[in-house]
Amino acid sequence: MKKESSANREINDLKESLRKSEERFKFVSMATNDTVWDWDLKTNNVWWSEGIVNFLNYQRDDVKGDISWWEEHVHPEDRKRIVDSLKTVIASNGQLWSAEYKFLRADGSYVIVYNRAYVIRDDKDSPVRVIGAMTDISERKKMESRMLRTEKLSAMGQLAAGVAHEINNPLGVILGFSQGAIRRLKSDDPLDYPLKSIEREAVRCKNLVQDLLTFSRSTTTDQGPIDMNQTVMGALSLIRAQSKMSKVELETKLADGLPRVLGSKNQIQQIVINLATNSFDAMPDGGVLTVKTELVNEGIRSWVVLRVEDTGTGMSQEVREKMFEPFFTTKPVGRGTGLGLSLVYEIVKKHSGLINFESQEGHTEFFVKLPARTGDESDQKE
């Protein structure tokens, strides 16, 4: 009886120890933002922590208890690579596995996850379990992408400034002599047309140089309080002829009583012109271009918002990811410099503003937010 009682106590102690261990594991998995998982290789069953509900928004009933459910929810582009890499670690007597890939959420969207795992083996070195944790690194990836983009823009800006300054001087000579020669010629002179062609192309190059200098942030412009609505209407007057040629209807919805913004009128107009030109290209068969202004209050901050909306073809994922990069263009060679939207981005930044967009087939809209300021504020140095 004493032996039986002692054995029962040992069993009870083991059960209590196991219960505390499981409870500890449960609390640890609840304390982390990760989705912890435990794969029993003998039964093929997988246990998931509450992260599968909190982080991926699945209901418990939606989650199957075998590894195939996980495999099916790995993005198709990543699936073979990820599944094969995990199987390789298990089969090759490895212990540690990690990978980055896209995983399907309950709402149908994909998040980028970092998944790492530890392979548990028995005394014969056979794999029996794999315990791992998935972490959502989507925001970190976005931040890394923004940092790389900022570094790239900075390098491109330095290059653009150097090139622009080197071109400026000889370009001034070409333009000056061609214009001087044109003034001395009669209209029927055979050199009139070629010299005017030289002048026209030199002016085009000069404008490109100015865009490069603006992009590189090496130029300074006088800033003052400007009326957004007047500035927008001034810009639209410059592109009305182009809109008619492109069979694009121009619509405006400008809010009354907007506060002024501190900035360069010419550069704000450049934003409108570049965004509108981008919209024209997206509507090869015509359409509607709508330009709106409004005041948005966010806490203690107020923004004057410019919206440029078109009914064009929309942008692919690849274009959306690269459209603010300098010299990126979808136009044929000779049709565009690829500076239009990157120049808009730089001007917005120089005005302490924000730019965002939404795009789908049949609709694209850009949002430019500039800090609302009064005339008194513009007199103060910031």
Answer yes or no: do 242 and 125 share one domain. Answer: no
Last residue of a domain, one of 219, 238, 267: 219
Distance (Å, whole) CA 361 – CA 312: 7
Answer yes or no: do 290 and 312 share one domain. Answer: yes
Q: Kindly give, in sequence order, each residue whose CB lies less than 8 Å from that of residue 44, ignoring residues fewer than 6 positions away.
A: 66, 67
Domain-embedded: residue 18: no
Any idea what the CATH number is for the domain that residue 86 is in?
3.30.450.20
* The predicted structure's pLDDT at residue 289: 93
Residue 149 Cα to chain centre, angstroms: 9
Q: Which domain holds residue 343?
A: 222-382
Length of the chain in terms of residues written = 382
6 phi and psi, to 5 degrees? -65, -40
Per-10-residue mean pLDDT of the chain, 382 residues long, equals: 58 57 54 80 89 82 88 93 94 91 90 93 90 89 74 64 73 84 83 85 77 55 84 87 87 92 88 89 90 90 93 81 68 57 85 89 90 57 40
Q: Kindly give, in sequence order, each residue whose CB lies less than 8 Å from that of residue 224, ignoring residues fewer than 6 positions away.
A: 262, 263, 265, 378
Both tokens of 248, joined, read 């694009």
> Is the pTM for the entire model greater than 0.85?
no
Answer yes or no: do 186 and 238 share one domain. Answer: no
CA-closest candidate to residue 310, choices 240, 348, 361, 255: 361
Answer yes or no: do 306 and 226 share one domain. Answer: yes
Answer yes or no: do 42 and 84 share one domain. Answer: yes
CA-closest candidate to residue 327, choices 159, 145, 146: 159
* The predicted structure's pLDDT at residue 202: 83
* The predicted structure's pLDDT at residue 219: 47
Listed in sequence order, the DSSP H helices in 39-137 are 51-54, 67-73, 76-91
Strand, helix or coil for residue 353: coil
Residue type, 192: D
Residue 101 and residue 78 in contact, taking contact as beta carbons nearer than 8 Å: yes
Give the number of domains in the chain: 3
DSSP string, 312-335: S----HHHHHHTTSTT---SPTTS
Last residue of a domain, one of 189, 219, 249: 219
Both tokens of 148, joined, read 């790389």
For residue 133, the surrounding DSSP H or E stretch is strand 127-136
Last residue of a domain, one of 136, 155, 190: 136
* The predicted structure's pLDDT at residue 41: 92
Domain-embedded: residue 11: no
Answer yes or no: do 64 and 166 share one domain. Answer: no
